[in-house]
């Protein structure tokens, strides 16, 4: 189970960068993003080694996990609504996601780990394909020196560390407390470094700040045999898997505290809360 748990954390570590972290950090640090990621990774490793943030209070645990669930569901439903199903209400977009989550929760916890075994292969395959397909579109001029302040670099490093480590504490429990996630964390940071570089190299820092989901926009460049076939709608699943697995992780954490039936009701309520706040997504 150790391998599968690390796979799950790989998805979780990347989940807060879709629609949030990547845009903010590149807009703030521009071509110096790599320093923020390196420093942020070091800070993140220290956080994982030093802090034990397991909350003992059951109610606080459920509330905090629910907040992260709403944030992630909001990002994912907005992304799907903006890029795939533009005419469909966001509430309707979220319903199938909640149904899938409830169905998975109804199974034994080992099913979640089996899912990660399958998705990690698909995730890495799509990631590698996208990188090689996008490299020709990278413009070196987008990495030109822009005199980014040290304060921006340091603040973005802290932001990177918090965004990448917080989901790990959600998946933490007594059964897996001795499992090291440092190697997984470093590998995750390396993939994020590559994604940051590709996104900045193609769009430039100014355009990254303009687009709502720049990590999706760059995928529109991908073609097969010089013919466009909306491949971005398939390739983008490596981002969707990240957020979806974190949503499942949050729901499973809540299930372990209050049970399956109450969790099913709660995640349905959280969908309605997400739908309410979606109007203020910006």
Mean pLDDT for the chain?
A: 84
Instruction: Give pLDDT, residue 197.
Output: 92
Q: What is the mean pLDDT of residues 118-141?
A: 88
pTM of the complete model: 0.87
Give the pLDDT band of residue 178 (cuts 50, 70, 90): very low
Buried b (16+ CB within 10 A) or exposed e, 57-77: eeeebbebbbebbbbbbbbbb
Instruction: Give pLDDT, residue 153.
Output: 92
Q: What is the pLDDT of residues 205-241, one digit of tens each?
A: 888 878 878 888 888 777 665 555 667 777 888 888 8
Q: What is the pLDDT of residues 71-100, one digit of tens each?
A: 999 888 888 887 777 777 778 888 999 999
Percent of the chain with pLDDT over 90: 27
User: Is residue 204's pLDDT more than 70?
Assistant: yes
Q: What is the pLDDT of residues 143-172, one digit of tens each?
A: 888 888 899 999 999 999 999 998 888 876
Q: What is the mean pLDDT of residues 105-125?
A: 87
DSSP string, the chain: -HHHHHHHHHHHHHGGGTTTHHHHHHHHHGGGHHHHHHHHHHHHHHHHHH-------HHHHHHHHHHHHHHHHHHHHHHHHHHT-TTS-HHHHHHHHHHHHHHHHHS-THHHHHHHHHHHHHHHHHHHHHHHHHGGG--GGGG------HHHHHHHHHHHHHHHHHHHHHH--GGGTT---HHHHHHHHHHHHHHHHHHHHHHHHHHHHHSS-HHHHGGGG--BTTB---THHHHTHHHHHHHHHHHHHHHHHHHHHH-HHHHHHHHHHHHHHHHHHGGG--
Contact, 74 vs 282, CB < 8 A? no
Q: What is the pLDDT of residues 248-281, one digit of tens each?
A: 999 999 998 899 899 999 999 999 988 887 766 5
Q: What is the mean pLDDT of residues 172-189?
A: 72
DSSP string, 192-261: HHHHHHHHHHHHHHHHHHHSS-HHHHGGGG--BTTB---THHHHTHHHHHHHHHHHHHHHHHHHHHH-HH
Closest by Cα among 70, 268, 9, 264 to 78? 70
Q: What is the pLDDT of residues 15-40, one digit of tens each?
A: 888 878 888 898 889 889 899 999 99
Give the pLDDT band of residue 41 (cuts 50, 70, 90): very high
Taking each helix axis from N to C end, the angle separating 237-258 and 90-106, rounded to the nearest 10 degrees, works out to 60
Instruction: Give pLDDT, residue 154.
Output: 93
Instruction: Give pLDDT, residue 246.
Output: 92
């Amino acid at each position: 189970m150790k391998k599968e748990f690390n796979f799950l954390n790989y998805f979780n570590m990347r989940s807060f960068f879709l629609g949030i972290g990547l845009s903010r950090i590149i807009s703030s640090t521009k071509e110096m993003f790599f320093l923020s990621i390196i420093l942020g990774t070091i800070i993140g490793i220290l956080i994982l080694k030093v802090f034990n943030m397991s909350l003992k209070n059951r109610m606080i645990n459920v509330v905090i996990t629910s907040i992260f669930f709403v944030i992630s569901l909001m990002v994912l439903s907005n992304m799907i609504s903006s890029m795939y199903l533009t005419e469909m209400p966001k509430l309707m977009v979220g319903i199938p996601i909640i149904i899938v989550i409830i169905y998975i929760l109804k199974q034994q916890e080992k099913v979640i780990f089996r899912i990660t075994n399958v998705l990690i292969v698909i995730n890495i395959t799509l990631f590698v394909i996208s990188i090689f397909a996008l490299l020709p579109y990278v413009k070196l001029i987008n990495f030109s020196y822009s005199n980014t302040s040290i304060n921006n670099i340091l603040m973005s490093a802290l932001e990177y560390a918090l965004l990448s480590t917080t989901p790990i504490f959600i998946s933490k429990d007594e059964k897996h407390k001795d499992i090291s996630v440092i190697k997984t964390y470093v590998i995750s940071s390396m993939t994020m470094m590559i994604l940051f570089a590709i996104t900045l190299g193609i769009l430039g820092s100014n355009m990254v700040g303009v687009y709502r989901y720049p990590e999706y926009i760059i995928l529109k460049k991908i073609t097969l045999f010089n013919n466009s076939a909306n491949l971005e709608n398939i390739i983008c699943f490596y981002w969707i898997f990240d957020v979806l697995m974190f949503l499942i992780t949050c729901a499973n954490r809540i299930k372990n505290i209050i049970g399956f039936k109450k969790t099913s009701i709660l995640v349905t309520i959280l969908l309605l809360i997400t739908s309410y706040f979606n109007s203020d997504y910006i």
